[in-house]
Amino acid sequence: MSDFYQALFTRRSASAKHLVAPGPDEATIAALLAAAAHAPDHGRLAPFRFIRIREESRPRFAGVLAAAALEEKPDLPAAEVERAREKAFQAPCLIAVIARIVADHPKIPASDQWLSAGCALENLLLAATAKGVAVAVRSGKALEMPAVRAAFALAGDEHFCCFLALGTASEWPPQKPKPDVSSLTSHW
């Protein structure tokens, strides 16, 4: 089996709370982002970009995640707010994935742009697997809250899709079963 297929069939999500050092070095991060940038891109719009969250920015990011959690659910218990804050300190490396979707583009439908952003994410995940880097994808409604949009100065056509926690897995969650491809395939 080629390295590509090995990465494809062995890729799995890590648990962010179990990601420890060492994280990816600068050359590996550059390679992962280069793989992401090779996503299919109808119209060459590059409807995605990435933000590396520096170590010194983590306390600020924690505050943003807590504020977003409270914006989404104002009566959120203090323990849940703290759990949102903790996400900023998990894993040695954090990278945000931002989608830039031009909803009224005259030629490229928004769906094509979303697919391209998703392909960029998957390329990064597969490249990480191939390089031996464990990744947890952190997403959710809170990432679209005004606190997050303001903190990251997102333009009106931008969406904070997720952030990736990267590192070395000290333990893995149980393997999730994959669907039987025959149940997903029909003939026309």
Give CB contacts under 8 A, 24+ apart, made by 101-105.
Answer: 101/47, 101/157, 101/158, 101/159, 102/45, 102/47, 102/157, 103/157, 105/43, 105/45
% the chain with pLDDT above 70 = 99
**Is the pLDDT confidence value at 3 over 90?**
no
Domain that holds residue 29: 14-184
Res. 144 pLDDT band, cuts 50 70 90:
very high
Burial of 128 (0-12, 13-18, 19+ CB in 10 A): buried
pLDDT in tens, 83-106: 999 999 999 999 999 999 999 999
pLDDT digit string, tens, across residues 163-176 = 999 999 999 999 88
Q: Please check the confidence at residue 181 and state whether its pLDDT lies above 70.
A: yes
Q: What is the pLDDT of residue 135?
A: 98
β-strand partners of 40? none
Least Cα distance to 87 among 99, 101, 69 occurs for 69
User: Is residue 110 assigned to a domain?
Assistant: yes
21: nearest Cα among 132, 137, 166, 173: 166
**pLDDT mean across residues, the chain:** 96
Q: What's the CATH number where 21 sits? A: 3.40.109.10
Letter for the amino acid at 22? P
Give a yes or no: residue 38 inside a domain. yes
Diameter of the chain by CA atoms?
Answer: 55
Q: What is the pLDDT of residue 52?
A: 98
136 neighbors 20 (Cβ within 8 angstroms): no
- Is residue 8, in this structure, part of any structural domain at all? no
- Looking at residue 1, its pLDDT comes to 61
**What's the total number of domains in the chain?**
1
150's enclosing H/E stretch is: helix 146-151
Is it the case that residue 82 has pLDDT exceeding 70? Answer: yes
Q: What are the tokens at 178?
A: 């994959």
62 in a structural domain = yes
Which of 152, 55, 176, 179 lies closest to 96 in space, CA to CA? 152
For residue range 14-70, list pLDDT tens digits in order. 999 999 999 999 999 999 999 999 999 989 999 999 999 999 999 999 999 999 999
Q: What is the pLDDT of residue 15?
A: 95
Rg (CA), the chain: 17
Is 2 a member of any domain? no
